Every structure is written in C-alpha cells, then in structure tokens.
Amino acid sequence: TQLLEQSPQFLSIQEGENLTVYCNSSSVFSSLQWYRQEPGEGPVLLVTVVTGGEVKKLKRLTFQFGDARKDSSLHITAAQPGDTGLYLCAGGFRGSRLTFGEGTQLTVNP
Amino acid sequence: NAGVTQTPKFQVLKTGQSMTLQCAQDMNHEYMSWYRQDPGMGLRLIHYSVGAGITDQGEVPNGYNVSRSTTEDFPLRLLSAAPSQTSVYFCASSRTDSFYGYTFGSGTRLTVV
C-alpha cells in the first residue's frame, strides 16, 4: 500500500521557470520531510514540517504542510540547473518509521 | 565528519552467493535502517533497529538478515542472492525516531547475475 502519492512523477522545465511538486496521503502524519537525491548519492534532508499549515523557506524553495497534516507541497521559484534531482517526500509518526513517496524527477534545462 | 559510511559502492554477485553490505555511522544515532531503491517503487524498508541488540523487519525483509551488536554498525546480509535482489541499497540513521529526519549513506549498487 502506497501511503504517499507524489505528483508529478517527472518534470522537465527551463531555467527560470517556477514549479510545484505535491505530496498527498489519506493518513495524518506527525511530521513530513522533503529530501533531494542526486545520481549516485543518497537522499539528503531538505526540511521537516510538523505543524498543520506550517510554511518553511529554504532560499528559493518553499515547503508547506497542509492544515490537516495529510499533504505537503514544494514550490521552487526561478529554477536553476543545480535544482535538478529526485525530490522525495516522507511521512513519519512519532516512534515509528518513515514512509517514502516514489519521488518526482526534476530536470531543469539551461 | 563522515556521517553514514556504506561499503562497497558497487558489487556483482552470482545467484546463490552470500555477502554482507556494511554500514557504519559516527553520530551516535540510536535508529538505523536499510532501504532498497528500485525504479518506480521508491524506497522500501528492509530492516531497522532502534538500538544496539534490537532489530525488526520492514516491509520487504525476505532474503535479508541484520544484526546490531554496536551503536555504530548495522550490517545487512544477503543469505543466497537472487536476481530479484538487484537494486541500490541505502543505509540511514537518525537520532531517535523518524521525526528528526534521516541521514543516508551514499548507497551500494548490487547486481545479481
């Protein structure tokens, strides 16, 4: 059973464009995390959100946790080629393991 | 400042062979886990440990064994390799539970022929 659905699965855009990636679930999570993975490397944690409605910013990346803590979005402003990678969302419960979405493969073309 | 170290980086096995994937962390993290990553299937949990001497199964444990004799090390053993175990394997650790986020190793790419 896939608890976390990410969309889109693939996204190819031009440098300077904006984009949004979505992560949806029917489950309520204690926390939701976003990771970025580059080829040949392990995922790297970008952000953790824990409060419904929470918004966090990391330079040009904006992360939002849904009010009901079932969904999240990642918005990138003015994307750059260095943003290229696999973006993974992961939901967690206190005292338990993370469940990962299948990921969104982002390609930013110069 | 090594973080999570996985060895080897690449491995080719013949069907039926056994081997151990090594994972070590130097952050004094209690929680460690093993995932496999396959195209279209995301990261799937194989086994995890909440501390030395304690291990438990994830969603795809068949064909794999783990042990946790120290806080630092969490090796993954393939008992009798099968082509279906061809995958990229990641070890991850965290402070206590998933709430704080994981630190991942750089992975082991395993091919079983």
A43-47, A84-88, B6-10, B97-101 — which is least confidently predicted? Answer: B97-101
Residue B84 burial (CB count, 10 A): 10
| Residue among B56, B43, B19 nearest B92 (CA) | B43
Cβ–Cβ of B43/A96 closer than 8 Å?
Answer: no
For B42, the closest of A44, A93, A103 (CB atoms) is: A103
Do A72 and A89 contact (CB within 8 A), yes or no? yes
Based on C-alpha coordinates, what's the Rg of chain B? 13
* pLDDT for B46 beyond 60: yes
Measured between CA atoms, the residue of chain B closest to residue A48 is B101
For chain A, counts of helices (H) and of strands (E): 0, 11
The pLDDT assigned to A95 comes to 66
Q: In the Cβ-directed half-sphere of A61, how many Cα atoms lie within 13 Å?
A: 17
CA dihedral A40, A38, A46, B86 (to 10 degrees): -50
Average pLDDT over residues B77-100: 91
Task: Tell me which residues of chain B, numbers 15 to 44, contact chain A at a CB-CB cutoff of 8 Å.
Answer: 33, 35, 40-43
Mean pLDDT of chain B: 94
- Residue A43: its chain B contacts at CB < 8 A? 43, 90, 102, 104
| Residue among B27, B91, B109, B95 nearest A43 (CA) | B91
Residue count (chain A): 110
Per-residue pLDDT tens digits of chain A, which is 110 residues long: 458 999 999 999 999 999 999 999 988 888 899 999 999 999 999 999 989 999 999 999 999 999 999 999 999 999 999 999 999 999 987 766 788 999 999 999 99
* pLDDT for B44 beyond 90: yes
DSSP code for A95: T
Average pLDDT over residues B67-91: 97
The pLDDT assigned to A2 comes to 53
Characterise A95 by phi-psi region: left (phi > 0), alpha (psi -120 to 50), beta (else): left
Average pLDDT over residues B56-85: 96
SS3 (DSSP) at B68: coil
Cβ–Cβ of A43/B97 closer than 8 Å?
Answer: no
